[in-house]
């Protein structure tokens, strides 16, 4: 399978008229590598200064590798700066968001693409509508609801809005994928006496795994990086997620760049790991999200 | 099977959770925002109904007008600087350069990193005394170019725009790259036989065939700019003065700092309308045959 894909891409490559291998192509490579440098340099710089002491960052060695590796920056950020706590909160909020989004959207997609009922069309529009609504519109009303329910400063305060704004995209991605599944499997299972719930949970849900992966990546990036809701709904340190937590950390350690840098690295590592191990899948998820939306 | 697929109880069971969440967090809030925007309300007790007053006030409010103008700067720079760079990169990379996957992967890295991290990082790049930008300028003998990038009224807006452009160039590049890769190889074969150069192939084949994707990119660039919040919030909070204020930072400040819930809601409604109108406008302006 991989070979086929490779063959297709290589044969494709050779057919496009490429710029000639000459001075022009040297300039082109220089520009491409230069641009690659611009895109990763700030991240390299972050990684290095997170391990330096202030005197290295501000004085003799702003750009090179650390001379003395200051791992103490990390313990400072994680423990004193509470980044460890924020990290766990982010894991809880993001994990729950992905889980609920995937299940709720998968169930809705099944009803809206497979089942027959009168309100199917208008409801489909309703589910897609969420794609065009900016989260700004929900900020104050959801805050007022949470305040009335005494639910600000809780995990649900973030999980529910994140799920709501992730569902429309998840529905779009799922419904495209579900349309490609043959109905015969379900019909056979039905004849064997499997209930509709059995059909959904035992046959459809497992077949949807690749689409669930796409949706999970998409939802992960959204929830992990979200700031506006997190800043407004959470003020108690106990429930702060990384995005808000990093803001407090930066306020707390204004001049200790090493500790702030360590906090920023900790906040970035999960995303980078996901990306390093699944770069193609991550890219495909975001392309799918954009093109479907 | 048909009977099973008409099972009302099952339909209800499958739709219930998502329907409730969407209703209470997306639909009801739009109605509530619209209602709040007609009130003078400090967030506690009862608000007083003031009709369209908040909207009239909006268009006389210099801070608000400034924020809309700044938001437009984000949109315009995104369309006229970011998208062309992305397109150029996508066109070059997709010709089958060496290290193709490497470039795609690296150019995309900033996209996945949290805007808060990006913001904190650029704050340090811009730091007047010890930031690497000024340090670089000083070491190149360009001392007169060094300044307080985020702290001065002249540069704060552009200093906030640059990281946004930088972060998402890879995103648009990837969309366009995926689009180019999906164009049939036969077409390029034919162009090659006709002896078309890379420039001509790009101008007459790739770009026209990429129209649906370019439309997606354009929509995202414009609507994304209208919603920009995180980066400005982290870098400047809209300051100094209102130099880098965008509509969403002004909205958050109006609601949660000045406790003008009604007035802030009028801004929220403005942002919703602005987004919907631009969605439709771009849809109308750029006609594509493909139904997506």
B6 and A116 within 8 Å at the Cβ level: the answer is yes
Contact B95, A19 (CB under 8 A): yes
- Is residue A59 over pLDDT 50? yes
Q: Which chain A residues contact residue B276 at CB under 8 A?
A: 132
More confident residue, A1 or B274: B274
Q: Indicate the pLDDT class of residue B208, thresholds 50, 70 and 90.
A: confident
Shared-domain flag, residues A224 and A130: yes
Looking at the predicted structure, is the pLDDT value of residue A17 above 70? no
A4 domain-assigned: no
Instruction: Kindly report whether the peptide bond that precedes residue A135 is cis, defined as omega within 30 degrees of 0.
Output: no
A92 vs chain B: nearest CA distance in angstroms? 17
Query: In this structure, what DSSP letter does residue B53 have?
Result: H
B61-285 domain in CATH 1.10.3720.10?
Answer: yes
Q: What is the CA radius of gyration of chain B?
A: 24
Please tell me whether residues A67 and A211 are part of one structural domain: no
Residue-by-residue DSSP string for B138-175: HHTT-GGG---TTTSTTTHHHHHHHHHHHHHHHHHHHH
Q: Mean per-residue pLDDT for A29-47?
A: 91
The larger pLDDT score, comparing residue A166 to residue A288, is at A166
State the pairing for strand pair B48-49/B39-40: antiparallel
Q: How many structural domains is chain A composed of?
A: 2
pLDDT at position B36? 93
The domain of A100 spans 76-292
Average pLDDT score over residue span B144-170: 91
pLDDT for B1: 63
Question: Based on the domain organization, do A256 and A150 belong to the same domain?
Answer: yes
Distance from CA of B252 to the nearest CA of A (A): 9
CB–CB of A162/A93 below 8 Å? yes
Beta bridge partner(s), residue B40:
B48
What interhelical angle do A279-292 and A155-179 show, nearest 10? Answer: 80
Q: Provide the b/e sequence for B17-33 (b: ≥16 CB within 10 Å).
A: bbbebbebbbbebbebb
pLDDT of residue B98: 84
pLDDT of B289 reads 59
pLDDT digits (tens, 9 = 90+) for B95-113: 878 888 899 999 999 999 9
Q: Are residues A20 and A93 in the same domain?
A: no
CA distances (Å), A238 to each of A83, A90, A235, A252, B144, in order? 11, 11, 9, 16, 46
> By CA distance, what is A278's nearest residue in B?
B105
Cα–Cα dist A260/A280, whole Å: 31
Q: Tell me the residue ranges of DSSP E strands in chain B.
A: 39-40, 48-49
Whole-number pLDDT of residue A21: 61
Query: Do B137 and B121 contact (CB within 8 A), yes or no?
Result: no
CA distance A90 to A82: 12
Residue where one domain finishes, among candidates A45, A71, A97 = A71
Q: Is residue A101 within 8 Å of A170, Cβ to Cβ?
A: yes
What is the torsion angle, in degrees rounded to the nearest 10, for the CA atoms of residue A62, residue A66, residue A68 and residue A69? 130
Rounded to a whole number, what is the distance in Å from the CA of A171 to chain B's nearest CA?
10
Residue B32 has pLDDT above 90, yes or no: yes
Domain residue extents for chain B: 61-285
Give percent above pLDDT 70 in chain A. Answer: 92
**Domain shared by A212 and A172, yes or no:** yes
Q: Which residues in chain A are contacts of B138 at CB distance < 8 A?
A: none
Average pLDDT over residues A33-49: 90
Task: Tell whether A67 and A83 lie within a shared domain.
Answer: no
Q: Is the pLDDT of residue B94 over 50?
A: yes
Contact A57 B251 (CB under 8 A): no
Q: How many CB pairs under 8 A join A and B?
A: 292
Kindly determine whether residue A137 and residue B121, on different chains, have CB atoms separated by under 8 Å.
no
Provide the pLDDT confidence category of residue A292 given band limits of 50, 70 and 90: low
Residue A4 has pLDDT above 50, yes or no: no
Q: pLDDT by residue (tens digit) across A262-273?
A: 999 999 999 999
pLDDT at B291: 46
Best mutation site among A26, A159, A275, A290 for testing chain B: the one with the most B CBs within 10 Å?
A290
Separation between Cα atoms, residue B65 and residue B72, nearest integer Å: 11
- HSE at residue B109, side-chain half, CA atoms within 13 A, is 24
pLDDT at B48: 86
Supply the pLDDT for residue A289: 76
Q: Tell me if A1 is assigned to some domain.
A: no
Is residue A186 domain-shared with residue A41, that is, in the same domain?
A: no
Give me the pLDDT at residue A18, please: 52
Indicate whether A109 and A62 sit together in one domain: no
**B61 contact partners, CB below 8 Å, separation of at least 6:** none
Report the Cα B175 to chain-centroid distance in Å. Answer: 15
Q: How far are the Cα atoms of A40, A246, A258, A267, B3 from residue A51, in angstroms, in the given order?
A: 18, 17, 6, 15, 64
Does some domain include residue A205? yes
pLDDT at A20: 53
User: Of the segments A91-100, A116-125, B253-262, which one has the largest average pLDDT value?
Assistant: A91-100
Q: Are B250 and B238 in contact (CB under 8 A)?
A: yes
pLDDT at A61 over 80: no
Contact between chains at A250 and B120 (C-beta distance less than 8 A): yes
Longest dimension (CA), chain A: 76
- Classify residue A63: in a domain, yes or no: yes
pLDDT reading at A6 higher than 70? no
pLDDT digits (tens, 9 = 90+) for A190-230: 888 888 898 899 889 999 999 999 899 989 999 999 999 99
Bridge partner residues of B48 (DSSP): B40
Q: At residue A8, does pLDDT exceed 70?
A: no
- For residue A163, is pLDDT > 90? yes
State the average pLDDT over residues B196-208: 84
Q: What is the pLDDT of residues A235-272, one digit of tens each?
A: 999 999 999 999 988 888 877 888 899 999 999 999 99
Inter-chain CB proximity B97 and A144 less than 8 Å: no
Q: Residue range B228-241: average pLDDT? A: 90
Task: Give the pLDDT score at A5.
Answer: 35
Task: Give contacts of B271 with chain A, Cβ < 8 Å.
Answer: 134, 136-137
Contact status, residue B163 vs residue B150, Cβ threshold 8 Å: no
d(CA A50, CA A66): 9
A162 with A29, same domain?
A: no
Same domain, A131 and A259: yes
pLDDT at B290: 52
Q: What is the mean predicted confidence (pLDDT) over B61-75?
A: 94
Provide the pLDDT for residue A15: 44
Closest to A104 (Cα-Cα) out of A186, A153, A169, A152: A169
Tell me if A116 and B108 make a contact (CB, 8 A cut-off).
no
Structure tokens at A244: 């808000």
- Residue with the two structure tokens 């998820």: A285
Which residues are bridge partners to B49 per DSSP? B39
Q: Are residues A115 and A251 in the same domain?
A: yes
pLDDT of residue A9: 39
Which one of B23, B113, B222 would you mutate to disrupt binding with A, by most A Cβ within 10 Å of its Cβ? B113
Q: Are residue A113 and residue A223 in the same domain, yes or no?
A: yes
Average pLDDT, chain B: 89
């Amino acid at each position: 399978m991989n070979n086929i894909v490779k063959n297709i891409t290589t044969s494709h490559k050779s057919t496009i008229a490429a710029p000639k291998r000459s001075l022009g192509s040297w300039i082109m490579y220089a520009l491409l590598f230069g641009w690659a440098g611009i895109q990763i340099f700030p991240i390299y710089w972050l990684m290095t200064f997170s391990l330096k002491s202030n005197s290295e960052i501000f004085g003799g060695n702003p750009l090179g590798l650390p001379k003395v590796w200051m791992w103490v920056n990390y313990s400072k950020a994680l423990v004193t700066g509470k980044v460890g706590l924020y990290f766990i909160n982010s894991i809880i909020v993001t994990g729950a968001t992905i889980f609920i989004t995937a299940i709720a959207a998968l169930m809705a997609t099944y009803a809206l693409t497979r089942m027959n009922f009168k309100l199917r069309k208008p409801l489909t529009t309703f589910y897609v509508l969420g794609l065009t609504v900016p989260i700004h519109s929900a900020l104050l009303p959801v805050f007022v609801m949470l305040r009335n329910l005494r639910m600000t400063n809780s995990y649900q305060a973030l999980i529910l809005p994140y799920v709501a704004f992730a569902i429309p995209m998840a529905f779009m991605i799922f419904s495209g994928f579900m349309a490609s599944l043959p109905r015969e499997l379900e019909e056979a299972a039905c004849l064997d006496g499997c209930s509709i719930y059995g059909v959904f949970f035992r046959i459809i849900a497992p077949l949807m795994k690749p689409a669930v992966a796409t949706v999970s990546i998409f939802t992960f990036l959204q929830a992990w990086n979200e700031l506006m809701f997190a800043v407004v709904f959470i003020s108690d340190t106990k429930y702060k997620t990384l995005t808000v937590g990093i803001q407090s950390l930066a306020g707390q350690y204004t001049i200790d760049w090493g500790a702030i840098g360590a906090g920023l690295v900790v906040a970035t590592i999960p995303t980078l790991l996901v990306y390093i191990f699944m770069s193609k899948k991550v890219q495909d998820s975001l392309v799918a999200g954009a093109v479907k939306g | 099977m048909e009977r099973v697929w008409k099972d009302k109880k099952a339909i209800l069971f499958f739709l219930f959770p998502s329907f409730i969440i969407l209703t209470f967090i997306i639909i009801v809030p739009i109605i509530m925002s619209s209602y709040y925007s007609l009130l003078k309300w400090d967030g506690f007790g009862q608000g007083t109904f003031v009709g369209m007053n908040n909207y009239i006030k909006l268009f006389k409010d210099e801070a608000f007008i400034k924020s809309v103008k700044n938001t437009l700067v984000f949109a315009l720079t995104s369309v006229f600087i970011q998208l062309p760079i992305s397109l150029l990169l996508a066109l070059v990379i997709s010709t089958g350069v060496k290290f193709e996957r490497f470039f795609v992967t690296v150019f995309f890295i900033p996209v996945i990193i949290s805007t808060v991290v990006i913001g904190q990082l650029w704050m340090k790049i811009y730091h007047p005394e010890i930031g690497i930008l000024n340090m670089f300028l000083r070491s190149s003998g360009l001392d007169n170019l060094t300044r307080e990038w985020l702290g001065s009224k002249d540069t704060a807006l552009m200093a906030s725009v640059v990281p946004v452009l930088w972060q998402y160039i890879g995103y648009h590049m990837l969309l366009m790259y995926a689009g180019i890769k999906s164009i049939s190889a036969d077409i390029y074969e034919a162009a090659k036989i006709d002896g078309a150069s890379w420039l001509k192939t790009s101008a007459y084949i790739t770009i026209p065939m990429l129209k649906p994707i370019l439309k997606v990119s354009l929509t995202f660039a414009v609507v994304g700019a209208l919603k920009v919040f995180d980066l400005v919030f982290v870098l400047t909070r809209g300051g100094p003065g209102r130099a880098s204020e965008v509509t969403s930072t002004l909205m958050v400040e109006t609601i949660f700092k000045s406790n003008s819930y009604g007035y802030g809601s009028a801004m929220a409604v403005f942002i919703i309308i602005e987004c919907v109108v631009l969605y439709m406008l771009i849809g109308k302006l750029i006609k594509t045959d493909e139904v997506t």
